[in-house]
Copies of this chain bind each other. A is one copy, B any other.
Amino acid sequence: MKKVGVAILGLGVVGSGTYNMLTEHRQFYMDTQGVDVTVENVLELNRQKALALGVPESKIAANIAEICSNPDVDIVIEVMGGVEPAKTFVLSALNAGKSVVTSNKELFCKHSHELEKAAKKNSCGLFYEATCVGGVPVIRTLLDNLQGNRILSIMGIINGTTNYILTKMTDDGASYEKVLKEAQKLGYAEADPTADVEGFDAAYKLSILSSLAFHTKIPFSRIYREGITHITPDDIQYGKQLGYVLKLLAIGKNTEDGIEVRVHPTYIRSSHPLASVKDSYNAVYVTGDYVEDVMLYGRGAGARPTASAIVGDVLYCATHPTFAYSTFPNTEEADPSAKFIDNFKSAYYLRLNAHDKAGVLAKVSSIFSRHNISLAQMIQEDGGDGTCVPLVFITHRTKEKSIAKAVEDINSTADIAEVVSVIRVVS
């Protein structure tokens, strides 16, 4: 039977899950995959953690060099996160002739070119299914299933923390701050939640997914990014009234006019399949010119689902005699011919705090009209204290810059209204 040795760099949540999966299922993989996969080394500063997990002391490596020179290690699994020292370690492994399986979205997003170059030079495999959306099989689907399609768009709920927070805010009407605290207690959000709630994590993943989908490198820096920290229960409730659910969506579109890539809070129609993706579940909704709509749904994070993606890559690498390099665009920057659209078109939700007096709606409407913005839906609440009332609009599709100008005009016109929220709408 073919023997394949692996090393695991980092025994955090995902590393431990991967260790457990590989050791628990060793016989199962011999029976079903015809390969004997053994963990030959781990790299973990906290030796007690490794021992507690059941790693034999002799398998705990002192440093990356020991792993790179271990002839029994064929595949290195990098689950450390962060750019350094992960990048140095992965390059060392590739240069030592080891194939690499990584879950490190930030590393792969920022340095895929350098990593793929090293993999090719050394004829090693480089696998990264686990970088995007945990156990949901989205990378291989784009590479090996939908590759015959021109991908028109990708829309994803690809961050579990923010989806958990927005779901709770929607179901319980609670404030962002309150739900964030609960999420932190439950381990759904980090002590410093910035990477999740400000959309960095989703933007790394969108960079990887849209680069694959659109066959040109989409650098992180080209992605418009807006988090969920300013979302209020009021906005969620008004959206509901109008038939929409609020999600942090990662959107990539490849239209005749160019490429749009953006991560921001978005209202989607409550009948859309993405609208029912709740709690920490994730989903990616892909539209291709032939396949039409495909949605991939599941656990986007967590020890066991992410281990499933990593072990899937390990077994693929172990059972496929030659590695076919991905069509991942081999540049660090976007192709010079790629055209990016910043002034994209969208429908918009606007919530205004309007003076409760005659003529305000007419004035606001005339500002919209001046910028060629037409209105689709409106809610005007009864005046409460007689000074200000909420005024909510959903526009038809218009350009990002037209909305910005309209908001500026409304805010700068005396005595009519202040724009409190502007949120994009996918209809």
Contact = CB atoms under 8 A, between A and B. Distances in A.
Interface string A319-334: 1111010010000000
B319 A321 contact: no
Given A148-B312, A290-B135, A327 B33 contact: yes
A270 to B, nearest CB: 10
Contact of A321 (B289, B293, B294, B324): B324
Contact of A25 (B129, B146, B150): B150
Contact of A291 (B293, B298, B319, B322): B298
Contacts of A293: 298-299
Contact of A32 (B17, B147, B309, B320): B147
A319 B143 CA distance: 11
A144 B316 contact: yes
A198 to B, nearest CB: 27
Chain A, interface residues (CB within 8 Å), range: 35 or more
A308 B146 contact: yes
Interface in A28-65: 28-29, 31-34
A21 interface: yes
A52 B298 CA distance: 44
Nearest to A292: B299
A296 B299 contact: no
A136 interface: yes
A304 B146 CA distance: 12
A276 interface: yes
A295 B294 CA distance: 10
A290 to B, nearest CB: 4
A263 B343 CA distance: 50
A141 interface: yes
A311 interface: yes
Interface string A294-320: 111111001011011101101110011
Interface in A1-45: 17, 21, 25, 28-29, 31-34
Given A150-B28, A321-B322, A327-B33, A135 B297 contact: no
A233 interface: no
A294 B147 contact: no
A288 interface: yes
A293 B308 CA distance: 11
Interface string A252-295: 00000000000000000000010010000000000011111111
A291 B135 contact: yes
A149 interface: yes
A319 B302 CA distance: 33
**What are the 5 closest A-B residue pairs judged by CB atoms, nearest first?**
A148-B311, A137-B145, A291-B308, A135-B291, A294-B298
30 contacts: A32-B327, A33-B327, A135-B291, A135-B292, A137-B145, A137-B294, A137-B296, A140-B140, A140-B141, A140-B144, A144-B144, A146-B308, A147-B312, A147-B316, A148-B308, A148-B315, A289-B304, A290-B307, A291-B298, A291-B299, A291-B304, A291-B305, A291-B308, A292-B302, A293-B299, A294-B299, A295-B295, A295-B297, A296-B297, A322-B322
